Each structure stands twice: as C-alpha cells, then as structure tokens.
Amino acid sequence: MTPIEIGLISVVAIVFLIYAGVYIPIALGVVSFVSIWLMRDNFTLALNLLKVAVGDSAMEYSFATIPLFTFMGLIVSKAGLGRDIYEVMTMRFRKVKGGIGMATVGANAVFAAVTGSSIASASVFTKVSVPQMMAQAYNPRFAVGVVAGSSVLGMIIPPSAMLIIYSFVAEQSVGDMFLAGVIPGIMLAIAYVGAIWVMGRFTPAFVGGRVVEDTEWMSGREIASKTLPTLFIITVVLGGIYTGWLTAVEAGAAGALVALVIAVVRKSMTPRAFWDALLETGHITAAILFLITAASIYSRMLGLAGLPNQLQDLLAGNSASFWSIMLLYVLLMLFLGTLLDTASIILIVVPLFLPMAEALDMSLIWFGIITVVGAEIGLLTPPLGISCFVIKSTINDDRISLRDVFMGALPFAFVMLIVLFILIEFPILSLALI
C-alpha cells in the first residue's frame, strides 16, 4: 500500500473504533501500534516506539501546564467568579436590545481567561444566564444559542486545554500558543456581540426579550469586589507570560496559587471542595496525558509510513495554492467536527497536515490557532456538538429541546466561520503578540 492509502485507512479505522465505543486514545494507540507492526513485520519495533512515545510525553517539562491550569480553572469555577463577572456584565448591558446575551458573551470571555474549558463555561452559564434570559422573555433558542456559542471562547482564549494539546502535537511553545490565542479570542467575542446587536435590530423575534429600564446599579466597591479577583488572576497569568517574567508552567502555578488564595479569602473553598478539585485535576490530567501519548505514537506511525513526504510530493506536483490547501483543511475539520470532539480532531488531523504546513513555510503557531478555531466550530454542530449536549443536560427544561440548542447555536457557528477565514487571510492577527 502507498503511504496515502495507509494514512486514509488508519483515519477510517480510528473513526470506526471511536464510534464503536472504544476510548479515543486507545483507538489511536491500537491502530498505530498494529500499523507499525504490519508495515515492518516487527512486533519489537512497534513496542519500542510505544515505549519512546510514552516516555517522551510523560517526561516533557511543559506538560506540567495541564494539571496547573486545570486546577486553577476548577478553583475559579468553585469560587463563583463566573457568576460575579456575569452579574457585573448584565448590569452594564441590560438596557440594550439583546443586552443579556451580550453580557453572557462578555462574561464568558473573561471566564475563559481563567478556566480554559468550553465545557465548564457551558455548564456555568447555562445555570446563571439561561434562566435569567427566560425570565426576561428572551427566545429560548437565542438564550441557549448564546451560551453555546460563547462557551467555545474557553478553548481559544488562553489558557486553553486545546492550545496545550496542539502545542504538544506540533512541538510548539505553550506560552507562544497562549499569546497567539489572545487577539483571535477577543475578535470572536467582539464578533459575537456585534452579531447579537445585528440580530436584535433586524431579527428581533429571534432574540426576543424586553429592555429593563429600572436597573439597580451596583456601587463601585461592589463592582470592584466582583471583578478585581478575576482580573488579577488574568494579569498574573497572561501578564507574566507576555513580559517574560514567567514561563507557561510558572504562570500556571502562580495562577493556581492566586486562585486558591482568593477562594479561601472569599470562604468559598471547603476542604471537601478542595479535595474534589484535586481529584478532578488528576482525572483530567491523566486523560490528556493518555491522549498526547496516543497522538505521539500515531505521528511516529505516519512518519514511518512515509506519508509526510508523499503529501509534500503530491502538493509539489499539483502546485496547489495556499487557499486551496487551507480550504481543504477547513472543510475536513468541519466534516470531522460533526463526528468527533475537538481533541480527537487535533490528534488525528494535525499529524497529517503538519509536514505540509512546514513545507509551505506556514507559521505553526498560526496554523494551531486556525486548527483550534476550525475544530471548535464542531462543538456547535450536530450530531456531536458537545457544548450543545452539555447545555441540554444542564438546563433540564422540557421546553427546550436539543434541536432548539443546535438551532440557536447555528448563527454563532456561522460567525465563527467568518472569523476563521479572516484569521486565515491575516496571519498577523494571531502572531502580533509573539
């Protein structure tokens, strides 16, 4: 078989195993291990490559960012900082048509900067935002759609678990990936707010809601107490990385410590909650390490098959243009987004296209942002829009069906697609802070 045939068969086999119920990293690892064994007819070689992949993943210093940022996000979530930011944003936007939706986007963007998880954002803001919008007579589809759309900011605005996973697969600096995600994340948040304003003006029936005239304003002291803790954590983490005072690992440690101190001072962290956060951090870290190890052996299998060289020769022979390659890449991610979760897409697709990106002198940092944004659109599209499923399971309201959640999220998926093409056309937007 040719290298391209091996690559295609391996992708099909992995997707088949995942849909058969096999755990994603096991599917990646088994297919890679068996492929190496069959290609070289050498069981020992396949076993040795597996040992090397496990060792390289576990011993990587920058891997410490995963448990540290995960722990920080869990502490922040349990401390109730997301609800505080939302209350302040709601006060500011309430008199605008669709204002609570705009407040949800703004609060989600800030919350994303200290959690890095779309699932956590979807869960938190389904509980605090959707009931309030429903009480203000907003369209249920719009209410859940705003939460679904803005929840993806958690995977783009740093610290992001997906940016960390990509940095390991592509062997790029975690700190550089974090800085590259700042402007695209802010752009997407602004685009969402703009889209809500347009929908409120031209499709008011879809938005619904009523403008609140007699909003009770918070005092300056109350606003400060609700916003400064979160802003301080963001400043410590991103400011430390941007100034060069802290590495990504050190920033994660500092952010986790600051978040823990804030939670203790606010008396929102019980010993039981602290223990639960530690356990959940361990579970998430182990799962991500397993994923990265599987991706490592998968990349080695593709290299052994000669697929990177084959793809480069194919591109050189066809003189493929930049936009034709990127359009193919985006379409592939959008298709896989309807079938797989974001981490799976990154682990399967990036090893295939990374050598091609290097051959065309593309920035791998920029390529990572394009990858994450493109893959995140899948969180909003059926049949496997994970954020939509989380919202439906969290809201527990028979008046809102899963179809309503997907239909409400559709305009925001379209906005993401527009932002994605802008980022492709203007790479400087991803690289300006590096």
pLDDT at position 220 = 75
**Spatial contact of 143 and 129, defined as CB atoms under 8 Å apart:** yes
Q: What are phi and psi of 343, to 5 degrees?
A: -60, -40
The rounded distance, in Å, linking the Cα atoms of 44 and 287 is 26
**Spatial contact of 252 and 237, defined as CB atoms under 8 Å apart:** yes
Per-residue pLDDT of the chain (434 residues; tens, 9 = 90+): 666 677 678 778 877 887 787 877 888 888 888 888 888 778 888 888 778 777 766 677 777 888 888 888 888 877 777 778 888 887 777 777 788 889 889 888 888 887 777 777 777 788 888 888 888 888 989 999 998 888 888 888 888 888 988 988 888 888 899 999 999 999 999 999 999 999 988 888 888 877 665 556 677 788 888 888 888 988 898 888 888 888 888 988 998 899 899 888 888 788 888 898 899 888 888 887 887 788 778 877 877 777 666 766 666 666 667 888 888 888 888 877 776 777 778 887 888 788 778 877 889 999 999 999 988 887 787 776 777 877 887 777 777 888 888 899 999 999 999 999 999 999 999 999 87
Q: Could you tell me the two tokens for 316?
A: 């050189």
DSSP-based three-state secondary structure for 269: coil
Per-residue b or e along 149-160, where b marks 16 or more CB atoms closer than 10 Å to that residue's CB: bbbbbbbbbbbb
The continuous run of DSSP H or E covering 315 comes out as helix 307-318
pLDDT at position 182 = 92
How much is the CA Rg of the chain, to the nearest whole Å? Answer: 22
pLDDT at position 1 = 67
pLDDT at position 216 = 63
